[in-house]
Amino acid sequence: MNKTATRDSAASARTMQHQPAREQNIEALTAFFESGIKPEGSRGQLGIELEHTIVHDDMSPVSYSGQHGVAWLLEQLRAQYPEATTDPEGDLLGVARPGEAVTIEPAAQVELSAGPFSDLAKARETFDEFERLVEEILTPVGERMLTEGYHPTATARSLELIPKRRYQFMNLYLSEKDTCGPCMMRGSASTQVSIDYTSTADCLRKLRLAYALVPILSLITDNTPVFEGKPRTHQLVRTKIWQHMDNDRCGLVPGVLDPGFDLRSYAAYILDAPAILVPCKKEQWCYSERTFGDIYAERAMTSAEVEHAVSMFFNDVRLKTYIEIRPADAMPIPYVIAYASLIKGLFYSPESLDALDELLARVNAKDYEDAKNALMAYGYEATVYGKPVAKLCDLVIELAERGLEDKDRPYLEPLAHLVEQRTTLATLAERSR
């Protein structure tokens, strides 16, 4: 046995000694991931989440509180979304109806989570209807809802946090970790698409390929022309924010691109990160910088504790009982549905998966970080994974087109056109200002 393996084995033994329930908790987390396995041959479905920024007509921020704040907006939506979520103090934090949930992010960004969808036409109809409804509410009071990757006028720290104890603790912790924690929480807005898996092997394969695609997807969906109230100084602002937030729970899950990575490795990663907050009876949430492994050292985690622990990670791709693909900025709805069609064509086509395996088989952690840095500096002029990124984007679009049914292929056009033009929504916005 080499020295590295000996050290790793000794460290593992020490951890098990101090965390007697560690094996039970690794099994609990692994079982949680495995509970998401769908039947072989099931229709590929997509979950879609889109975050919106609410502003006054002069583009100044709209906060949670106030006469026509986001709390007021949620109250207006209750007629259509009757299932309400409140905190212990009675503050309204979200409304929902079957298949759709309207929630708010730390600085009152409004998120619609909807699906799962097997039909992209239904997805488009759902998001269009939501935006029409919100527009009817906001227009008479001089407000509007934006779909951009970052607040267009405000600095993150100037934006009011919503009254949610969890976010108070997160803001405290992330503000001390690095420079961009508050920027992620308060300023950013994203588009996220979730996909299913049909086996452990399928899960790990899709997880690895999704990570390898993150830099390319980040470029294709770049929609942040402004950062902290000023024109951006580089492309892919969201990428830079995530690089300077919290390396314990962001970016690449260690080892996920390696052939030997498995669900137990993912579970161990969860256990070894600081918790930030944990559920507690007295105050609902309690702050802790101890790791999840140490907090639950003496007993097995409950299902609710497992779900909470997994939710406290903000990686570029996140595993729950489905795979969340998370690098995209918030975008207008036609581009959101185009992005969903892109993901569908890539991840629910066996031929696309095989082609991606061949294309991205040798991507490692260094390649991944180098790709991000190159794209922030050079955009479509960058070289990624040893190839011109423009050509990689062409290939990704082509694979998705081939992987889609005829009825879904037209939805891809808005993003395909951007790639063909070698431009992004952020660049187009810069030119128009």
What is the pLDDT at residue 277? 86
What is the pLDDT at residue 16? 63
Q: How confident is the model at residue 333 (pLDDT cuts 50, 70, 90)?
A: very high
Most distant CA pair in the chain: distance in Å?
A: 72
Write the pLDDT tens digit of every residue in 86-100.
988 889 999 999 999
Distance CA 114, CA 128 (A): 12
Would the pLDDT of 8 be above 90? no
Q: Which amino acid does the sequence have at 72?
A: W
Query: Are 113 and 52 contacting, i.e. CB atoms less than 8 angstroms apart?
Result: no
Query: Are 293 and 19 contacting, i.e. CB atoms less than 8 angstroms apart?
Result: yes
In a domain, 394, yes or no: no
Parent domain of 49: 22-331
The verdict on pTM exceeding 0.85 is: yes
Distance CA 166, CA 93 (A): 12
Closest CA to 339 of 204, 223, 207: 223
What is the pLDDT at residue 228? 98
What is the pLDDT at residue 148? 98
Name the percent of the chain lying above pLDDT 70. 96
Q: Please state whether the peptide bond connecting residue 116 to the residue before it is cis, i.e. omega within 30 degrees of 0.
A: yes
CA distances (Å), origin 182, targets 124, 159, 228, 237, 360: 31, 10, 11, 14, 33
In a domain, 338, yes or no: no
Q: How confident is the model at residue 11 (pLDDT cuts 50, 70, 90)?
A: very low
Distance CA 87, CA 107 (A): 16
Q: How many domains does the chain have?
A: 1
Would the pLDDT of 2 be above 80? no
What is the pLDDT at residue 12? 55
Average pLDDT over residues 317-327: 98
Average pLDDT over residues 68-94: 95
What is the pLDDT at residue 3? 43
Two tokens, residue 65: 């509180």
Residue that wins the pLDDT comparison between 179 and 16: 179
Give the CATH number, domain containing residue 139: 3.30.590.20
Q: How confident is the model at residue 4 (pLDDT cuts 50, 70, 90)?
A: very low
CA distances (Å), origin 34, targets 103, 152, 323: 27, 40, 12
| E-only strand ranges, 256-414 | 274-280, 284-291, 314-315, 317-319, 323-329, 383-384, 387-388
**DSSP-derived secondary structure letter, 140:** G
In a domain, 377, yes or no: no
Distance CA 292, CA 279 (A): 12
Judged by DSSP in three states, 261 sits in: coil
What is the pLDDT at residue 15? 67
What is the pLDDT at residue 419? 98
* Helix (H), strand (E) at residue 293: helix 292-295
Average pLDDT over residues 195-224: 98
Would the pLDDT of 47 be above 90? yes
Query: Are 132 and 333 contacting, i.e. CB atoms less than 8 angstroms apart?
Result: no
Write the pLDDT tens digit of every residue in 278-301.
887 766 778 889 999 999 999 999
Write the pLDDT tens digit of every residue in 114-134.
999 999 999 999 999 999 999
Distance CA 245, CA 401 (A): 35
Closest CA to 203 of 263, 288, 289: 263
Two tokens, residue 391: 């050509």
Distance CA 275, CA 109 (A): 24
- Ramachandran region of residue 351, left (φ > 0), alpha (ψ -120 to 50) or beta? alpha
In a domain, 3, yes or no: no
Write the pLDDT tens digit of every residue in 165-207.
788 889 888 998 889 999 999 999 999 999 999 999 999 999 9
What is the pLDDT at residue 287? 86
Distance CA 155, CA 158 (A): 6
Q: What share of the chain is helix, strand, coil (3-state, %, to 5)?
A: 50, 20, 30
Closest CA to 20 of 370, 312, 426, 297: 297
Q: Output Rg (C-alpha) for the chain, integer angstroms.
A: 21
Torsion of CA 342, 343, 347, 348, to 10 degrees: -80
In a domain, 46, yes or no: yes
In a domain, 342, yes or no: no
Would the pLDDT of 7 be above 50? no
Mean pLDDT value across the chain = 94
- Angle at 113 (CA atoms; ends 47, 394), nearest 5 degrees: 50
In a domain, 257, yes or no: yes
Would the pLDDT of 14 be above 60? no
In a domain, 69, yes or no: yes
Write the pLDDT tens digit of every residue in 378-387.
999 999 999 9
Q: How confident is the model at residue 420 (pLDDT cuts 50, 70, 90)?
A: very high
Query: Are 325 and 210 contacting, i.e. CB atoms less than 8 angstroms apart?
Result: yes
What is the pLDDT at residue 231? 97
What is the pLDDT at residue 285? 78
Distance CA 29, CA 264 (A): 8
Query: Are 328 and 192 contacting, i.e. CB atoms less than 8 angstroms apart?
Result: yes
Q: Which residue has the tokens 């951007």?
A: 418
